Structures are given as C-alpha cells and as structure tokens.
Structure 1
C-alpha cells in the first residue's frame, strides 16, 4: 500500500491549483480537516488534496461553499461501511457502488444536499469509506436517480423508501415464517431456494396492484 504523501501549505495549494489564501479560507470554514502539527509546521496529506479536488468539482457543478460545508459535515458524521454492511455480510442480490461526493452530485444534482445525504445515511443506503461514499445497492441508486429525473424530489423518494422498508420487512417476516414452518434442513440453504420465489410473488402482486390502481384512477 503506497505511503501517504505530506505537503506544506504552499505545496498543497499548488497541487490543488488554488492560492494559499483560498486554502486558509477553506480551513477556517472547516471544509478540510485540520493539518498534522509538527512544532510550528502544518503538514497536509493526500486526503486533504482529495478533499480540495472534491470542493473544486462540486463548485463546478454549482454547489455553494455553504452547501459543501454542510455536505462535508454530514459526510464526516455518517456511519462507515463496516457499520452498514457488517463484517460478516449475508449473501445478497444487491451490488454496492463506490462513489466520490462529486459522483453522487452527478446522480442527483441540486438534490444532493446535506439533508438528503443524512436521510440516506439514516436509511442505511449510504456509508462512508475514507474519502468515498458507498451506496449499498446499485439498483436502488439507479431507481432513485431515475425518479429524480422524472421530477420526484429526492427528499420524497427517501421518505417513501422508509414506508417501503416497513412493508418490505413485514413481507420478509411473512415469508420467513412460511420457510420455518414448512421446510427442513439448513435454513440458509432453504432461504436461497426460497428467495427468488418470494421475490417473484411480491413483484407479480405489486404489478397487479399498480394495474388495479391505474384502472381505478379517473383520466386527467
């Protein structure tokens, strides 16, 4: 694993393409973490450089410094990937996605706010891993972004996700009860056979429920 390079303030500013004055301003605004002190010398490292490049990228995408500061605070207070995914993660159909903060902004544009970032972290959708963000499910990430593109605010997508989570937990409980009542042998193996069947039932029922709702809706 390569060693982290360290920089004096002037060196870091040059690498990031900003002035020392701007770097001091970012530090005062707590947009970057404090440097390591060695006597009177402040040492910065590659994590500071990555943060400065992220700030520049977010500014290019139209985010304000206040908004970036709020994002940084939410990012730093979020749970890490080990807390969300767990060390002994159970098998899952979901594929986690690694994102930079600016990559997340590319998905959600103006909706990539500190409030939405915090809500997604509370849901367990997002976790932190060093300078990166982990979304636990590529499918949920893509669907959330598609809903935002359709005009649904991300805050409402996340609020709806909480309600869906409650219903999904109830459905999972129902199928687990069936599994334990009517199957024999190791539960893990039985669940792997049961999982696609349960998903098919839920998908078919939801599809028919949407059809029923659309037929009942008056034409606008």
Structure 2
C-alpha cells in the first residue's frame, strides 16, 4: 500500500479512504502480503483527473460502478453530464487480447520480465485476467514487424517511449491552437454548447492526423536523404588513395626563364 501511494503521489491515508469508499478494487492477497497492480495505479490516476475536473467522490464512485457493470460509453458520458455527444472515440485503434502463448508467438525470446514491465509502464499492454490486453492492433503489428527485422524489443519499447513524449507534445500544441482560435474558453461551458464542441473536434480530427502524417513523411525524407548522402561521401572517401579528401587537380606551369647570363 505504501508503494502504491508513493507511485500515485498521494498519502497512504487517502488510499485507505478510497478503499473504504470502494473506489479502488481490493488487492491480490498472497498470505499476509497484498499485491497492487498497474490497474490500481491507473485507477488512482483516473480518480485524480476527475477530481481536478470538479467531480465529487460520490460522482466518481457512481461512474466507476457504472463502468464495472459494463454500461455503454454513452451511459458513462451521461453520468458526466454530456450525454452522448462525446461518445464518439477520437482514436480508431483496436485493442487486442493476447494469451501468454500468443504474446510469445509475436515476440519470441524477446519476451522478458524487463520488456513486459516497460510495455506496462508505457501503456502498450495491461493485464486482463490471465491474458494481456494490447492497446492497439497497429502498434502491436508494427512492433512485431520491427522485431522480425532484427530490432530488439527493448529498443522498440524505448523508441515507443520517446515517440509517446513527442506526440503528446504535438497533441497538446494542436489542442491549444484549436482551443484558442476555434473553440474559445471552455470554462463553465453551457450544456447546450457541448454538442458544438464535439462536432468541431470531429471535423478537425482528420486535419490533425493529416498534419502529423505529412510532417512525418517530410521529416523521414529529410533524414533518409541525409543518411544516404553521408554514406555516399564515406564511400567516395574510401575509394580515394589514402582515403583522404580529394583535391582539385592543377596543371604544373613551367618556371619563368631566368635572366640572361
């Protein structure tokens, strides 16, 4: 419990209070030891985010209960006071449930406790009973393809962590631009305007994806061209005598005649 509270950045007494209010599921018991998982930490972060948005603990408890009972996203949105207007997902990613055997088939010997821990920390996978839930079919397929090409899974996960930081920054930039110049202030937004916000974001959704896709394509083109040019220069240097840089050839001119004897 102390370790979980430290990871979540809250006092232990707050964690106990959440458990008493049934906001947090009980831990897995192993004798006298109570084990908390990534799902408990994710729940605490969700609670913190909802509190920052002004929701009460009672409302959060009702929301969590509805989620655990399998209510639809529209029902959860209704509890949050926005009806079905925000029910449309922004992402098209499809989660994938994998058994341990299927996970091993994707990544082979690269499946290790260290790599599984890294994947959990990034958010690529979560525990679903005895199985693993990968957050994205596309990311799963790309990661497996890179491993098949010879990139170690640890390097794939390290790159994924870096990419996550960069795309979060891009998403924050685009969101602030839209909020400032299109939507305006969202504080104390009247309920009747929620639909307008949802419709606007859905119209802008493909624009954001096109910007990232175009910029990524151009950036890859620049980087690949630079790598090829550097390689060609190295090859050209290696074929010269001594491997040194080339000098422009000049024709030796005869010395001018000396004074008459």
Q: How many positions carry a matched residue from both structures?
A: 147
Q: State the superposition RMSD in angstroms.
A: 2.7
Corresponding residue number in structure 2 for 1:194: 204
Residue 92 (structure 2) pairs with residue 96 (structure 1): no
Greater radius of gyration (CA) = 2
Which has the bigger relative contact order, CA under 8 A and spacing at least 6? 1
Aligned 1:16-165 pairs, distance under 5 A = 78-80=37-39, 83=42, 87=67, 91=89, 92-165=91-164
Partner Cα separation in structure 2 for residue 156 and residue 112 of structure 1? 13
SS in structure 1 at match of 2:38: coil
Shift of 1:78: 4.6
- Give 4+ residue runs of structure 1 displaced > 6 Å after superposition: none
C-alpha change, 1:81 and 1:106, in structure 2 (3 Å) is farther
Shift of 1:182: 2.4
Partner Cα separation in structure 2 for residue 125 and residue 210 of structure 1? 24
Unaligned runs of 5+ in 2: 1-28, 47-66, 68-75, 78-86, 184-192, 233-261
Corresponding residue number in structure 2 for 1:166: 165
C-alpha change, 1:81 and 1:142, in structure 2 (3 Å) is farther
> Which of 231, 241, 246 is the aligned partner of 1:219?
231
C-alpha change, 1:133 and 1:77, in structure 2 (3 Å) is farther
Kindly indicate whether the alpha-carbon contact (under 8 Å) linking 1:116 and 1:154 is maintained by their aligned counterparts in 2: yes
Partner Cα separation in structure 1 for residue 171 and residue 126 of structure 2? 24
**TM (normalized to structure 1)?**
0.60
Shift of 1:132: 1.3
SS in structure 2 at match of 1:183: helix
C-alpha change, 1:140 and 1:78, in structure 2 (3 Å) is farther
Cα deviation digits, residues 11-36 of structure 1 (max 9, x gap): xxxxxxxxxxxxxxxxxxxxxx98xx
Unaligned runs of 5+ in 1: 1-32, 35-75
